[in-house]
Structure 1
């Protein structure tokens, strides 16, 4: 019997991987001799840790940065960078298959999956230079690799080295949650930490989980040629998003040929003849499907184990992560936390922003609050789904009167010329005002478009001002201005219209 498809998947050893390792965790690296005392010690060299180190060094602080695996964390190594590189190529193949829609003709399409993944590794390797150990050392950061644990309220151990600190930042991030499905580990499975090591396209792929990671990778692999099934144990996928947004994506999945099974749970997995038999149950209906690979995308868990947090008096929860207040301070007044290990909104830029809050509060007597951040996010499917601020349901629960202005993308000239009419721009304001409370955008480039609304919210710019902003024509972002103009039309009341008509009658 042949081994499971993904039982022995490791990172391919090539020039790109050699460079990434040399940049992010060189094998011959020797940890420096620790200083007598560091003003700031950072545990974890992901997005939050690197951002904190760069800002602290710029302020003239003595900084140590500790990493167990690779500098750059999930985003660079197993998250944002490789996934978006894969998605870009997958979209290209999807567009080629839809060439007739654009008045073009493609006679033959052949997916070279080896070349696709080679490009992913090449891009990841190229971007690793910006966070390399050489870069950190050049800045003046003392870079340590190894296992780390607290030995007291102001002391850490890295392997056998002792580091004392005035302040510390925990930025250890998260790791994939592995569902407790009997036989899954024995049969073999993929997570975001291993899926980018593939060099062979699985013909049949089961994705367990209908969250952002599961949806993004399910669609990408389908566009590359895999037969894909999504199993979600809830009645909805992307359950956080507004239902009309998720419905548009559901329609896109149907168009792409992705099978989505909601209210369905995987109950057992077994390897047979080189394939995987997966038992499913939905209500009282039981079925079995055969696949070549299983990708789990059912959330993440914080990296808090093995740190001996109890010795430093730091409160934490194995599921929710490090306990922090609105200033990101832990129960130890010397220790802060930032990034995914303590945040509900687990996004790269949010992690970096939270790290800068920590450095400001710890060393500049700042009182910056996590709750003051305006955080956008995007699920990079096709179309993309982006959001910022409040949802209608949240405003209703908070007793905030809200009014929504929606513009379908099929009313926007550039969306029509691009044959990308599916989607909308939806902006929520406090009723009776032009104050923006939140927005959802579903469009091919929603992740780019949401930034304009985020800026408006941070700068407290209302829809009245947005309506006066001239947008380059034709662009899909014009939908934002159209929504703002729709608000403006509501300001023209019947009474104002009657007064205007009387004035015009006297003057014409």
Structure 2
């Protein structure tokens, strides 16, 4: 056994782990990084990156079929599904060097390609190494959760971890799960020419604002995706090329099955009991500083049991670099964290939804809205489906919901406003180039002030006075 002493030991080379390793090592800390699988973690290899690449391929195919209103004769695209997957692989390969072992060793990080397991509160065994660290960070991420549906072990099925390796186009893809992953993959495959059925045990996009979710779901259905809600998968049967999902609402048979019902945190193999680290099914139990019940052990990203997004792991990494490396106080919060679902149209959220804001703030809440169909750029682009809602309390936004084109980009302005405590006036005073989709944000802010200016008797009296008195 080789014994290693280090300042910071990081278990997991995904977004959070890599960000901490890069920052800490370049500031002078001795850093050891463990990764028993792929550098870059789930996001690079099985999640955000490959899914967006496949979505982009689907978008190109869809554009060929929908140009009639622009004077472009629609044609049926000739889709080479394997070539679309080549685009996915090329995207991963282009980004991979940024997350590579070689790059991080260049920063001075000691990279060990082994899984880690606690053997004491301060020691981790990784292959032939026993590592003692002043601080240990669990950054192991999450993987697809496969529910114990009767018969699932006897049929071929895909998750996000292997769907991108599939080279033969599904004739009919059955998706179990109507959340972001399931719906993104459903639309991408439908646009690439597959028939698609989505089976959801409760409500599709059930965690999102219902009004905003309806904008997305209506468009998915219009594109030919069958979405069956309230259809809990009770049993699965079939063989390769013909899989049937049995539900209370009927049986659904397809050529391929994708299971996308949620995520499970990757902590099972860490032997957390040996470290005195408490945890639940949702992840490691941490406080606001991301410290576990063992004061030397921290958790970030999905492993910390909160919001499961790559950018949250990156945000957590910044918190720990500040506290572990610089010794400065730092705490994580969630009210300024945005997220997006990359369907077409997109759906994005930051802060409180309308229902949450109503429950928390009651009569103090003002909800302002602005529709996409009144935005000049959206009209020119034919992207008029959608709207924005902003929840405002005492002149400050406490939440924003956007469903429509580029929602994932537009939400950034509201995330910045909430993170920095800006008022609605900061958005209203911002001058934007015309015509842009981003003007939807400014017009929403304008909707907040319009009643105060145009419906106020006091304002009208002042204006009449000014017009009479000032020469």
| Fold-level similarity (TM above 0.5) | yes
Q: Partner of 1:326 in structure 2? A: 288
Root mean square deviation, CA, Å: 1.5
Pair 1:497 & 2:464 matched: no
- In 1, Cα distance between equivalents of 2:470 and 2:103: 71
How far is 1:239 from its partner? 1.2
Higher mean alpha-carbon deviation, 99-108 vs 301-310, is at 99-108
Higher mean alpha-carbon deviation, 497-506 vs 470-479, is at 497-506
Normalising to structure 2: TM-score of the pair?
Answer: 0.96
Q: Partner of 2:80 in structure 1? A: 112
1:191-270 alignment, distance < 5 Å: 191-234=159-202, 236-270=203-237
- In 1, Cα distance between equivalents of 2:349 and 2:132: 42
How far is 1:78 from its partner? 0.2
1:256-405 alignment, distance < 5 Å: 256-272=223-239, 274-282=241-249, 287-317=250-280, 319-371=281-333, 374-400=336-362, 401-405=364-368
How far is 1:160 from its partner? 2.5
Normalising to structure 1: TM-score of the pair?
Answer: 0.90
Local SS of the residue matching 2:305? coil
State the 4+ residue runs in structure 1 displaced beyond 6 angstroms: none
1:98 to 49, 53, 66: 66
Distance 1:33 1:126, change over 3 A: farther
- In 2, Cα distance between equivalents of 1:60 and 1:471: 42
Q: Decide whether the 8 Å contact of 2:54 with 2:85 is kept in 1.
A: yes
Distance 1:138 1:503, change over 3 A: same
Q: Partner of 1:123 in structure 2? A: 91
Higher mean alpha-carbon deviation, 217-226 vs 98-107, is at 98-107
Pair 1:471 & 2:432 matched: yes
Q: Decide whether the 8 Å contact of 1:392 with 1:402 is kept in 2.
A: no
- In 2, Cα distance between equivalents of 1:218 and 1:299: 15
- In 1, Cα distance between equivalents of 2:2 and 2:409: 45
- In 1, Cα distance between equivalents of 2:102 and 2:211: 47
Higher mean alpha-carbon deviation, 398-407 vs 443-452, is at 398-407
Render the CA deviation track for 1:203-238: whole Å, top value 9, x for unaligned: 10111011110111111111111111111111x211
1:137 to 105, 108, 113: 105
Higher mean alpha-carbon deviation, 145-154 vs 132-141, is at 145-154
Q: Specify every segment of 5 or more residues in structure 1 that has no aligned partner in the other structure, as ranges.
A: 1-31
Q: Decide whether the 8 Å contact of 2:43 with 2:310 is kept in 1.
A: yes
Q: Partner of 2:384 in structure 1? A: 421
- In 1, Cα distance between equivalents of 2:21 and 2:463: 60
Render the CA deviation track for 1:398-433: whole Å, top value 9, x for unaligned: 235211111100000000000000001211110xx3
Q: Decide whether the 8 Å contact of 2:11 with 2:140 is kept in 1.
A: yes
How far is 1:291 from its partner? 0.5
Give the aligned length: 468
- In 2, Cα distance between equivalents of 1:364 and 1:129: 28
- In 1, Cα distance between equivalents of 2:66 and 2:123: 59
